[in-house]
Copies of this chain bind each other. A is one copy, B any other.
Amino acid sequence: MDTAEKIISSDLATRYIGVRKRTEQICSPLQTEDYVVQPVVDVSPPKWHIGHTTWFFETFILKPYFMGYREYNPDYNYVFNSYYETVGNRVIRTDRGNLSRPTVMEIYRYREYVDEAMLKFLHESIGDEIKELLILGLNHEEQHQELLYTDIKYILGHNPLFPAYSKDYVSPKVNWVENEKFISVKEDIYEIGFAGDGFCFDNELNRHKVYLQAYEISPNQVTNAEYLNFMNAGGYHDFRHWHAEGWDWVKNNKIESPMYWHLIDGEWYQYSYHGLGLLNPKEPVCHISYFEAYAYAAWKALRLPTEFEWEAAANQFSWGKNWEWTESSYLPYPGFVKAPGAIGEYNGKFMVNQKVLRGASEVTPPGHSRVTYRNFFQTHLRWQFTGIRLAK
């Protein structure tokens, strides 16, 4: 291994350690019990995230490429596989919160074991293919860091005692544009998708041309105060603003407000990482479904931007507080191809019946997102930090 290679490996090792430690720091305020529960199917127990991100490196790097590596425990493949059919059977998703074993401590031991092996492995020469897998694994773990934050919020925020996550948690400031005026973007052909040398997910490719009609887009996200106007105007009780499917969702689930909002003695409270507190009307509204974002826009006689409109204008406004629902369905870009093998299951197989979100949220790891980044969720989900930017 020559010097240049050594430096690269050493850089990767440093980055590996950094990402792995950050995951553990996110969990440091938790009680053992908080690691275990799964109050709703979309929320995984934190201990599962701790194990699954470890399993990812063991399964896709150590087992195939690190000669002499001894698998920590063959049963863990069954426990920590998320959705990779290629890699075998697994605990059904709704059962993740039913498993008391392995314990949190056992999973941290597993994590230590894999980390040690990984660091040994990273001191050897590694090829480009493996480096790519490693970087994918780190980005994968960063995605789980965001999920950890939102899953923890759900677990604590749906507990009748409303415990705080940590009084030290600092919520980022929002960069508001005063005297809001919509940004005008002219009709033209725009280049959409990732370009450059760094890492991107396969769903950001290929970069390709899109023809956009002239449009305007807001420099700010919709605020809690603005959203309250919608609520006070009867927005949740007027079918005309809603998709038929959204209206069914509102009625079947008796939805009356964003997630984490509580009306107590006539005042609106909101659960945050600091516990239950008065709603701040100046903050951007979040924890709303696509259905609600759409209905709000319809009530304003405006609309959500497409993901292409968002990307083409993203340099002209500030983003990163809440993921923003777009009108675009999550579909492959022209020329998209799934990778062969298990890694090919990463993104492609979810490209149906989901909506694209753009931007990032306050719990996205720093540097993880970018202008071309595509997040995606089903239209009824609300436990992510999801917000609204309007277009017309």
Residues of A near any B CB (own CB < 8 A): 31-40, 47, 75, 78-79, 83, 85-86, 91, 95, 97-104, 155-156, 158-161, 163, 189, 208-211, 213, 239-240, 242-247, 290-291, 294, 303, 327-329, 331-332, 334-335, 344, 349-353, 379
Task: Select one of B47, B160, B331, B351 contacting A75, CB under 8 A.
Answer: B160
Q: Which chain B positions have C-beta within 8 A of A156?
A: 100-101
- Let me know if A350 and B243 touch, CB within 8 A: yes
B36–A37 touching, CB < 8 Å: yes
A245 touches B98 (CB 8 A): no
**Residues of B contacting A38 with CB < 8 Å?**
98
B98 touches A33 (CB 8 A): no
Q: Which residues of B contact A211 (CB under 8 A)?
A: 189, 209-211
Q: What is the count of identical protomers in the complex? A: 4
Whether A100 and B245, one on each chain, are in contact in the complex, defined by CB atoms closer than 8 angstroms, is: no
CB-defined contacts of A97 to chain B, threshold 8 Å: 37, 97-98
* Cross-chain contact B331 with A100 (CB below 8 angstroms): no
Contact A353 B335, beta carbon cutoff 8 Å: no
Q: Which residues of B contact A83 (CB under 8 A)?
A: 244
A37: chain B residues at CB < 8 Å are 36-37, 97-100
Chain B residues, CB < 8 A from A351: 243
In the complex, the answer to whether B33 meets A91 with C-beta atoms within 8 Å is no
- Beyond contacts A244-B349, A244-B350: 8 other A-B pairs, Cβ-Cβ < 8 A, are A33-B35, A33-B101, A36-B100, A37-B99, A37-B100, A39-B95, A243-B352, A245-B352
Among B35, B78, B209, B213, contact of A208 (Cβ-Cβ < 8 Å): B213
B residues less than 8 Å from A213 (CB atoms): 208-209, 334-335
Instruction: Assess the B101–A159 pair: CB atoms within 8 A.
Output: yes
- Residues B353 and A245 in contact, CB atoms below 8 Å apart: yes
Q: Which residues of B contact A189 (CB under 8 A)?
A: 189, 211
Contact: B85 with A239, CB < 8 Å? yes
Question: What's the least CB distance linking A7 to chain B, in Å?
Answer: 39
Task: Please name the residue on chain B nearest to A39 by beta carbon.
Answer: B98
Contact indicator A33/B104 (Cβ below 8 Å): yes
Residue of B nearest to A187 (CB): B209
Distance A101 CA – B156 CA, assembled complex (angstroms): 8
B101 with A31: CB separation less than 8 A: yes
Knowing A97-B98, A98-B158, A161-B102, the reply to whether A352 touches B246 (Cβ < 8 A) is yes
Residues of B within 8 A of A85 (CB): 239-240, 247
Q: For A332, what are the chain B residues with a Cβ–Cβ distance below 8 Å?
A: 303, 327
A366 to chain B, nearest CB (A): 28
A-B contact pairs, 9 of them (CB 8 A): A33-B33, A34-B101, A75-B160, A79-B160, A86-B240, A290-B352, A291-B352, A329-B329, A353-B379
Closest residue of chain B to A330 (Cβ to Cβ) is B329
- CA of A290 to CA of B353 in the docked complex: distance in angstroms? 11
Q: Is the CB of B353 within 8 A of A103?
A: no
Of A38, A156, A240, the most chain B CB neighbours within 10 A belong to A240
In the assembled complex, the CB of A146 is this many whole angstroms from the nearest CB of chain B, namely 20
Q: Which 3 A-B pairs have the closest CB atoms?
A: A329-B329, A39-B98, A211-B211
A100 close to B352 (CB less than 8 A): no
A33 to B31, CA, bound (A): 10
